[in-house]
Structures are given as structure tokens and as C-alpha cells.
Structure 1
Amino acid sequence: MRDRRSGILLHPTSLPGPHGAGDLGGAAHRFAGWLADAGQRLWQVLPLGPTGFGDSPYQALSSRAGNPLLVSLEVLRNEGWLEDGELAGAPAGEPGRADLHAALEWKRERLARAARAFRAGADGERAAELEDFRAREGAWLEDWALFAALKAAHGGRPWTAWPAPLARREPRALEAARARFADEVFAEVFAQFAFSRQWAALRARCRALGIELMGDLPIYVAHDSAEVWARPELFRLDASGEPSVVAGVPPDYFSATGQRWGNPLYDWEAVAREGWRFWIERVRGTLALVDRIRLDHFRGFEAYWEIPAGAPTAERGRWVPGPGARLFEALLRALGPLPFVAENLGVITPEVEALRRRFGLPGMAILQFAFGEDPQAPTFQPHNYAPDLVAYTGTHDNDTVAGWWRGGAGDSVRTAEAVAREKAFALEYLGVDGRDVPGAMIRAVLGSVADTAVFPLQDALGLGSEARMNTPATLGGNWRWRVREDALDAGLADRLRRLATVYGRAPAQAGLRSSNQK
């Protein structure tokens, strides 16, 4: 018997809470308990880095730092670094929607206050703990803290718009900036220290409950990031520091113009010349936070779509060979067994699948893609699954199942007739009449032979397009959905636990005791 499990995809910002967006405080710990009550053994999150323009976790300002927005101010108050009154007046946002920008600005000001209180009042043991953290993580932390302080000092503008000595990282300019912005740099270090401690507490809670954490490692980093600013020689940039070519994917069945992500592409030979250290440290840092990693855009490691930086869409580009096995061999040598899940979606070739199988990486199957006329649709049908697979009803880039079921062709190349055929086939395949398609699709992935089955919380709740997390290739309104506290009730937990038990995915004690029992 293989180790079968199921879990839920929910980013921490989507948790309930009083400060404008979900965080790593009480609601996160309660959600972990609710997952255990629901018989789930995995919690999948999106990238955890600090977000910039557009709020996308896949365009983080750092691939190593944690998002300060996720730091719980209530925990900091309980530790004595904030007063009760300082937690008042948080941006509330709309019901069920986070105002991420306003919440972050409000929280950063409180984090700065907490940093000042810590510096003034921390005892020797706690101060030493922060200094140990700073020394241990300094290889990335010092660059991030200075980058964040300089970005704030320059009105949030990208690093290429800073004065040339700072953009080019001239030593004298950096030394002067560290002195001038010493308080701001310390506040950023403190925020990362708080994030690290709070995430460690949440991870310990999940481990005690038998819940595995699965993180997400984007293949690319944002151009406006600490990494590109600090290591421009590893990326394909022009003399002014701007990308000469950018990342994306070509047109396909789902998008007539493809997706132009805009991330700078790696100079893979430069990465290789330094012993793949950049990628080894990225993976090592992620594994310090999670148990498994969803490796984003796995296809790009075999060959990636190179788009001229001036092209407005992804239609004009070319496939270029990626690092392939050389990178994964280096990671294997440095880190041992690779707990990756390969996001092998898109234009998948035999070479991509050969690379995945060579390193024994589970792939992904998205049930929403199973019923259309795309040539790859049969591979997403549960009767064609292999055990070594993670099966999803949908991901953060899909509409919810309910929204997909009620919707039309969107911006895909499908016709209305093709959509009608797709839905008719879905009803026939799932054996339902259309009244509970989300529930039927959850059953389908849970009942499949795939070792791991995952569904977004929105699908468990049966929510429509209003709860969609992201619409690819769009700006504004994404990443904002939040679950209401009262939605995570015992009735839903009981239904999910029964399904997980029926399909052999629940822990042995599921249904016998509540996670809240001692």
C-alpha cells in the first residue's frame, strides 16, 4: 500500500483575522487544527515572499525573505513589543476580500514600532537570538534588508530608477546607505526574525497534528527584487539593468496570446559557473520552511520560452534549452533526496517527462482540464492517473470549480459549442446531474490512484468566481480572497474527514478524536 493523503490549498493571506489580511497568528493555528479534524494531512501554500506591484506571490521582492504582511501583530503584542492600542485601526477591507496594499502599509508601521521596542527592551537572551538569526541568514538577509529600506526611501520605485551608485551597488554608496538607514535596516531584519519564529511555531503545530506543509518555489524571480539587484550577473540584463529578454509561455489551448510574465531570464551558464550556488541556496532556504516543494513551471528547466523584452505579448518568442539534468544533479549532490512536485503543465514534451522521471519527481494533474478538446485532456482524467502524482480539482490560477462550471470560454480559444461539449462530457464522466459539481470533482480526485489529492478551500466551500484567487495575465483584484471564520465549521470538517476515510487518505485515528482534544 502506498502512502495516500489529501490536503487543501490555502494561502495564509486568505485566512480570517482582524488586520486586513490573514497572517501566522491564531487563525493559522486554528486552521491547522481544522485540517486535522477534516482528516487532511497536507496544507499547500503559495510562495511566502514579500510582494510588490500587483500583489503576486510569484513576483516577490525577494525569493528568500518572508512576507512581512504575514507577521502576526497579536503575537508581537503578546511578546511585549506592541501595546493593545497600537493594534487598533487596521484596514478592514471588504467582507471576504483583503486590501493587501493598505494592510501592508499599516502593518509595516507597526512592525517598525515593534522593532524599536525590541531594540530598547529585549533582554540579553532574546537580543542574542536575533543576532544569531542575523548571522545565520546574513548571506541573503543583509541584501534584502538594505534593498527594502532603499526601496521605501525611493518611494517604492524599482532599483533601476535609484541613483546610479546605488543601482550599481558601488561599495561606498552601499556603506553610506547602511549608515543612513540603519534603523530602517534593523526594522527589516526584525520583521524577518519575527516571521521566522512565527512560521516555525506554525510548522511545529502542523507536525504535531500530522500535517505536511507544501510550499511553492517559482522558477523565476522578479526583476525588481533583492536577488536581481544583488546578483545582476546571473540574469540576462542590458547595460541599464533592464531585462533583454523575459519569461512566459506561448499561445495554447487556453490563451490565444500566451502569457508574458516579464521576469528576467537566467544566464544559466553564469549560474553553473558558480557551482549552482544560487539555486542550491534557494532550495535549501525553502526546505527550511516546508516539507515538500511544488516546483513551479518545471517545463522551463528543460526548455523555456524566451520573449524579446519589447514584445507586448508572448506570441513572439522561441524555445531555448534550459539547464536540464545538470541543475537537478547539483541539487541532489548538495541537498540529498529532492522532495519536489513538478508542475508539469503547459506544452509538455517527451523530453520534459523524461527529465521528471529521471529524478523521480511526481507530476500534477488538474481535473478542470480533463474534459475539453485539448490533446492533453486525457492525461488529466482520473482513470489515466499514475500513483506517483498530485491530483487537483484546480489550482490558484484556475477559476473555482463552481465558477468554471457556470462560466464560458473566457479568453481561451474555445468556442461556445466546445464549452458545451466539455460540460456535457464532464457530467457524463463524473456521473452527476450538475447540482454539486465541486463535490463530485473532489470525490473524483480523492478516489483516484494518485498518492496525493489537493483541492482549493474554495472548492470545498462550493464558492463561485467571486472567490477566484488569480486570473493569469491580468493585473488588479487578484490574490485578495479571504475565507470567513464561520465557514470553517465542524460540519464541513466532518464531511471531508468521511471522504478522506472512505478513500484511504485520512490518518488512522481520523474520526476517532478531535485535534482539539487533549
Structure 2
Amino acid sequence: MSSLRASGVLLHPTSFPGRYGTGDLGLEAYQFIDFLAASGQQYWQVLPLGPTGYGNSPYMCYSALAGNPLLISLELLQDSGFLEDGDLWHVPEFSGDRVEFEKVVAYKMPLFHKACNTFKEKASEVQRTKFAGFCESKAYWLDDYALFMALKEAHGGASWYQWEPELVTRSPEALEQWGKRLNSEITFHKFLQFAFFSQWSQLKQYAGDRDIQIIGDIPIYVAHDSADVWANPKNFCLNKETYELDLMAGVPPDYFSSTGQLWGNPVYNWEHLQQTNFKWWVQRFEAMLDYVDVIRIDHFRGFESFWVVELDPEVKPEDRTAEKGEWVKAPGKEFFETLRDKVGKLPILAEDLGVMTPEVEELRDTFDFPGMKILQFAFGSDPGNPFLPFNFPRNCVVYTGTHDNDTTVGWYESREEWENEAILRFFGQISPEGIHWDLIRLAFSSVSNLAIIPLQDFFGFGTPARMNYPGKPTGNWEWRYWGGLITPELAERIKNLTQTFGRAPQPKGTPE
């Protein structure tokens, strides 16, 4: 990470406006990058970009390395010759401020199939060569992922550990037989990944040409029902007979939940991972660094120690909580040393929120990873609160809030009057611009090297624009903004603030 002062915007691509029900990697994405450049921003932070499953959470994907097909731009597929003009004439009436995921899937998937069939029939030699090269270079994860998705569809969406025993245990004969049977479906999923990564690479290049770096997000855990766990079961703590979970990841009671959070993910078999010299983890980081510039590690403390809950089979899944668990040590230092030996300098941000221990802080600081500071956590306690700006170290990233928080306006309006007294003592009074601009100004003026602001806060939106409610299984990740909201006037206002607090881009050649 650079030691120069800078700032950026947090926005997931699904939140872009557009005709097709969800944000994608087309025109609106390029216009957003133009907005970032015009407003003097140097970073764009996104949530995980993988193919989502139940609940549409980007933190619960079918693959840690694949891209989400819903982000593929239909218009760019058309530009590539894989769809015709008439294919995009009849678009359903989609919500302009929410992603209706099921409706989007129903609309886009038939068009993706048509694009794939057109590719098979009419792709140029250059396009075919690029596709073959992509499949070869990504084969170490793409082959398993494409087969996994094809098998999942063939089994009516059932989780992999509910398939036939020979598929659950990955019998080579069964995999070969099903691979031949599902050849067309496997090619389809490879085509979707080719389309996603082609479009993403072009967008990333466009951002890089405008000196915008992309911060990606690695969730420490992967979904149980994923190609990652199916293809690499020894990396995880699974029941040796059923491949179900006896142990589950989560966190104990905290700010977000009085009963803790039970995430549904398997925990790692770190002993086995160490024996492989962390091969799977290294490949995961290397793959991420192919398409982002910086990686935020979600739940960083899990690399030092992780919360494990032993599941009671007598308790219904909906009644389980994360209160009764234990912290188990993880070999984080050994892993990051191995990763550094493999990839060199580690452009990593550590999500170090929640209850941190001296050991977690030591792991973070040993590798000089910036931690996170959330201004919404700063008020209501004593002056020693680590989220108050005068307690910040320079090597950190400050946010008004994250995807897991309410918007700043929603947060302020939902607080009790006595709680807001602490804010008034700090600011003196709330400015006529609103609490969101007060916190944005506070973030930009802090000593933190990097300030990241959710786009909702620049708009001054309330709770309906919140992205996620931790612990709520459905109804999240749906917010979108209307076209026309990222105006030249807003860009100029942000640019002035960026320049005032020394976060504007430095002239070329300026030493760090």
C-alpha cells in the first residue's frame, strides 16, 4: 500500500444503474470510473465478485475464484457479436433502486445461452484462441468449477454433499462419465467465465489508465456448497462420512449480534494446509491479484485464531447460535511469510473489526497491513475509543461505515437522543450540509493514509440504501442507485474536499 494520502469510494458493481435489473460491467461502470477520476479519487473498493448462491451474498459464493455471471454486460456481448440488436429490445420492467435477483436470472440466463451458442458457431479464430488460452490458464480452478455448476444444475440445485456417493467422493470414473454427459453445460459455464473476465479486464485497464486502483475483497471463508470445498475437501473440517459440517465458523456475541453470528461455513484444516505449503491459499491470492490491485481480507483475525462452534445435531439449524464456541489458533504468520515469498510485496488491507487481541494486532503489524477504522463506532464511549480520529495511526483505512453498517444518515437518525449527545460534543453542532458530510469531512481530515466512503454517504441516503444487515439471511445486497445521480457538481464537491485535505493524486514521479 502507498504511504501517500488518498481516498476512494466503496461500491459493489451490482449497485450500478441500468436497464437490465442489476449493475454490470458495461457503460455505467465506465461512467463511474470517470466520476472517480473527476472527483480526484484513487481507489474503487468492491465486495467479492464471485457467483452468489442462496441469499445472493457475495460472501457466500459457489467459487472463491470465479466471477459472477450476472455482472456480465449484455450490451458488451452484443458488441462482441454474440447477441443481436433485437435480443435486447424487450427488457422486463425492473426496479430502478433494487436488484430483483430471481427476475434478473430468469431474464439474463437465456440470453447467455444464446450468446454461448453463437460463440460456438460464429466465433472468429482470434476469439477462439483467446477462449482456449483462458481455459488453459485458469484450468486449475475453472475445470472443477464448470463441472461443479453443471452437476449442480443436473441435480436440481442440490448441494454437492447430497449427490451420488461417487460424485461426492469424486470418483475419477464418475467424473469422467458425467463430464462427457454434461460437456455442453460445462462449456457454457466456461464461456460465462471467459466473458466475465474479458469484460472485467477491460474495465480494470480503463481504471488503471485513469490511475484508479481497485480494492478487492477476500472473505476468509468459503461456502460449504462450493466448488472449492467439493474439489478440495481435505482443506476443510468435514464429517468424514457425510461431508456435512460438524464444526462451523462464526463469531461470538458482538456489536452486530447478541448471540453471535453462525456463518454456515466450514472451518479450515490448517494442519493439512500447512503440509501443502498453503498451496490452495497461495493460488487464491495469486488469482485475486490478477484482477484487483489491493486485497481486503474480510475477518482478518481468523488467520490468528478463529471461532469454532460444534454443532449439536439435536438442535434445529434455525435455532442454532454462535454463543458456545471456542477460539482455535491458526498459523497466520507462517502463511503470510509463505505468501510473501511466493508473490512478493503484499498489497493487503486487514479487516480487524470486532474484538481484537494483542496477538491479532501483532500479526497485522508484523506485515505492515493497514487496519480499518469506522467512524460510526467512534461515539458513545470514552476518549480512548480507537475509532476516534485523534487515536488513529497513519497506517489505516478510515470509513464512515461499511457494507455491514447502516448508511451514515440512517445510523444517525436511528440513534437515541442521548446517544447523539456524544456526536454533538465532538462536532459542536451538525452542519447544515448534514451528518453524512460531517463524517466524510472527518474521515478526509484524519491522519489515516486512506479514506474510503460508501457511495450512499456521498448521496446522503438513509436506511433504505443500506447494503446488508448482518445475520439477516435474505433481502440484502439489493441496493442500486438511479442514473444521473453522479453529477459533475457532486464530483467537483468531492474533488475540492479531496484537495483540501491532501488526498488528491500526486504528480507523476512523486516519491512515496
Aligned residues: 499
The aligned counterpart of 1:475 is 473
Q: Distance in 2 between matches of 1:182 and 1:376?
A: 63
Secondary structure of 1:326 counterpart: helix
Match of 1:458 among 456, 477, 481: 456
Corresponding position: 1:323 with 2:331: yes
Match runs of 1:284-363 below 5 Å: 284-310=286-312, 312-363=320-371
1:68 touches 1:104 (CA, 8 Å); kept in 2?
A: no
Match of 1:431 among 428, 433, 437: 428
1:20 touches 1:90 (CA, 8 Å); kept in 2?
A: no
Match of 1:386 among 382, 385, 393: 393
Shift in Å, 1:302: 0.7
Q: Distance in 1 between matches of 2:41 and 2:188?
A: 37
Secondary structure of 2:327 counterpart: strand
1:372 touches 1:421 (CA, 8 Å); kept in 2?
A: no
Deviates more, 1:393-402 or 1:168-177: 168-177
1:91 touches 1:99 (CA, 8 Å); kept in 2?
A: no
- TM-score, structure 1 normalization: 0.94
Shift in Å, 1:87: 2.3
Secondary structure of 2:452 counterpart: strand
1:55 touches 1:479 (CA, 8 Å); kept in 2?
A: yes
Shift in Å, 1:160: 1.4
Q: Distance in 2 between matches of 1:90 and 1:263?
A: 37
Match runs of 1:84-103 below 5 Å: 84-103=85-104
Q: Deviations over 1:6-29 (max 9, x none)?
A: 000000000011111000011101
Corresponding position: 1:403 with 2:414: no
The aligned counterpart of 1:207 is 208
- TM-score, structure 2 normalization: 0.95
Corresponding position: 1:251 with 2:253: yes
Secondary structure of 1:304 counterpart: strand
Deviates more, 1:129-138 or 1:90-99: 90-99
The aligned counterpart of 1:414 is none
2:256 touches 2:470 (CA, 8 Å); kept in 1?
A: no
Q: Deviations over 1:129-177 (max 9, x none)?
A: 1001101100000000011111122221211122222222111111111
2:11 touches 2:455 (CA, 8 Å); kept in 1?
A: yes
Q: Deviations over 1:331-390 (max 9, x none)?
A: 0111111100000011101110001010110111000001133x8971001111111110
Secondary structure of 1:471 counterpart: coil
Tell me the percent identity: 46
Q: Distance in 2 between matches of 1:339 and 1:183?
A: 39
The aligned counterpart of 2:266 is 264
Q: Distance in 2 between matches of 1:376 and 1:119?
A: 64
> Please, which runs of 5 or more residues in structure 1 have no aligned partner?
409-418, 511-518
Q: Distance in 1 between matches of 2:273 and 2:291?
A: 24
Match runs of 1:493-512 below 5 Å: 493-508=491-506
2:3 touches 2:395 (CA, 8 Å); kept in 1?
A: no
Q: Deviations over 1:362-421 (max 9, x none)?
A: 111000001133x8971001111111110000000000001101114xxxxxxxxxx444
Q: Which amino acid aligns with 2:368?
A: G
- What root-mean-square deviation, in Å, do the aligned CA atoms of Structure 1 and Structure 2 show? 1.6
Shift in Å, 1:101: 2.6
Match runs of 1:111-130 below 5 Å: 111-130=112-131
Shift in Å, 1:107: 1.6
Q: Distance in 2 between matches of 1:396 and 1:68?
A: 21
Q: Which amino acid aligns with 1:64?
A: L
Q: Distance in 1 between matches of 2:333 and 2:90?
A: 52
Q: Which amino acid aligns with 1:287?
A: L
Q: Distance in 2 between matches of 1:92 and 1:209?
A: 34
Q: Which amino acid aligns with 2:279?
A: R
Q: Distance in 2 between matches of 1:143 and 1:336?
A: 28
Q: Which amino acid aligns with 2:325?
A: G
Q: Deviations over 1:273-321 (max 9, x none)?
A: 1110000000001111111010110111111110123460111111111
Residues 92/275 of structure 1: CA separation in 2 closer, same or farther (3 Å cut): farther
Q: Distance in 2 between matches of 1:226 and 1:92?
A: 34
